[in-house]
Amino acid sequence: MIKFERFELDNGLRVLVHEDDSTPMATVNVLYNVGARDESPDKTGFAHLFEHLMFGGSANIPDFDTPIQMAGGEN
């Protein structure tokens, strides 16, 4: 079993933390507890649309992979 800590921030964000001292690396995963299962039958496809929009960049960060890679990370 992987040991982890679980806590909730004041804003409701649930956080899980697992420390592994065997490697000098940090990893962040963001998971959303919502998806296609939450759509109504007459309005489908929004979860899939938002999934693609999140990876399309923005006016301030058109390509989020480049800054991460310049800092030595990867997506």
Domain borders along the chain are: 5-58
Residue 58: partners with Cβ closer than 8 Å, 6 or more residues away: none
Over pLDDT 90: what percentage of the chain?
Answer: 48
- Residue 32, pLDDT > 90, answer no
Q: Which of 5, 8, 19, 51 is catalytic?
A: 51
Q: Which three-class secondary structure state does DSSP give residue 52? A: helix
7/46 Cα distance (integer angstroms): 29
Would the CA dihedral through 27, 12, 51, 48 be positive or negative?
Answer: positive
Q: Is 39 a catalytic residue?
A: no
Phi, psi of 5 (to 5 degrees): -105, 145
2/17 Cα distance (integer angstroms): 11
Q: Quote the pLDDT of residue 14.
A: 94
21 vs 53: which has the higher pLDDT = 21
Is residue 41 very low, low, confident or very high in pLDDT (cuts 50, 70, 90)?
A: very high
Q: Quote the pLDDT of residue 19.
A: 94
